[in-house]
Amino acid sequence: MFDKLDDLLRRFEEILNELAEPSVTNDQTRFKKLMKEQSDLQPIVDAYKEYKKCKQDIEDSLAMLGDESDEDMREMLKEELNTAKKRVEELEEELKILLLPKDPNDDKNVIVEIRAGAGGDEAALFAAEIYRMYVHYAESRRWRCELINVDEIGIGGMKEVQFSISGQGAYSVMKYESGVHRVQRVPETESGGRIHTSTISVAAMPEVTEDIDIVIEDKDIRIDVMRASGNGGQCVNTTDSAVRLTHYPTGIVVYSQTEKSQIQNRAKAFALLKSKLYDLEEQKRHDAEADLRKSQIGTGDRSEKIRTYNFPQGRVTDHRIGLTIYKLDKVMNGDIQEIIDACIAADQAAKLLKMNENA
């Protein structure tokens, strides 16, 4: 581990030297690449430098203890020694986590798709509530949400909704939301007061950027334009602005109608299709690496039931990590950071365990 850390420290110094060269600022592609690499290495370098300083402090304290006869000074040195030793242990764990293989998609924006499952209108109502939960969460992180497509039902529910979230590391967080979400409550549509169980599915997909090579051949795609339907603003329902894409090889159909401009809807539809195609490739890769999939939270089977929202008891349970919290109202209002942090910690622990087993 420390050989690798020394190599990274050397590479960090090289990057700083390169960034100081006047020629680099003239080459924006190279400049951005170096800045990104520096940003990725900074937390590791900071932790390693602190680790080395603590190790040096331990050596200095031990040397001074050997020469010191004053009891008060010896007590002070022992205290400093214990503090440094404790911090060294903490930093070793931090460095192990920082050196874990990073998901190359973690820094990307995310496209989220929510679909109503079992439960009819109640599932559609819950899908709309989960959509609003994510919008509130994104707002709390100062991320930007943009609606791509929504299929609404008359009572305020959504059969399906696709939207993008733009912000630093949005995918690294939202990927833990992929899977089946289950709700247990008395539906507004139920007159008998019986508790029903309904489900929705959530798919979080990294937005495809220039560094991902997804080619869509003209012969493989059909583009249809039509008048938007549903609750549109002025002009939305009066022009042929909606765009539907059909991808023949996979059978994937995507639709975008939220913008007044056909060009904007076309751009959104292609972004959604590319993310779906890339997500399909990633799922195939994870299926081929069954071991990896089982050890990682957030990259598992999309049909896996991940969370239950029990309204009568006011609790939310994440089944992957065995976490139950009793603040359903806050969660439905976007306060999901505690759940996500617990998923990230469990994911890191599983990866560390696997790394130690393979060591």
List, by residue range, all CATH 1.20.58 domains of the chain: 2-98
The SS3 assignment for 322 reads: coil
Q: Pick out the chain residues at pLDDT < 70.
A: 189-192, 211, 229-239, 287-303, 357-359
Q: How far apart are CA 68 and CA 340, in angstroms?
A: 50
The CATH topology of domain 110-349 is Alpha-Beta Plaits (3.30.70)
Query: Strand ranges (DSSP E) for 8-157?
Result: 110-116, 144-152
- 40 to 93, 135, 144: CA distances (angstroms): 18, 28, 23
Does 1.25.40 match the CATH number of domain 2-98? Answer: no
- pLDDT at res. 330: 96
* Residue whose C-alpha is closest to residue 161's, from 126, 118, 211, 193: 126
* Residue whose C-alpha is closest to residue 318's, from 351, 299, 294, 343: 343
- 179 to 84, 124, 200, 204, 293: CA distances (angstroms): 43, 16, 9, 9, 13
Residue 68 DSSP label? -
Token reading at 291 = 């071991």
List, by residue range, all CATH 3.30.70.1660 domains of the chain: 110-349
Query: Strand ranges (DSSP E) for the chain?
Result: 110-116, 144-152, 158-166, 179-185, 196-206, 221-226, 242-247, 252-256, 305-310, 315-318, 323-325
CA angle 343, 344, 345 (to 5 degrees): 90
Strand partners, 164: 111, 146
- pLDDT at res. 74: 86
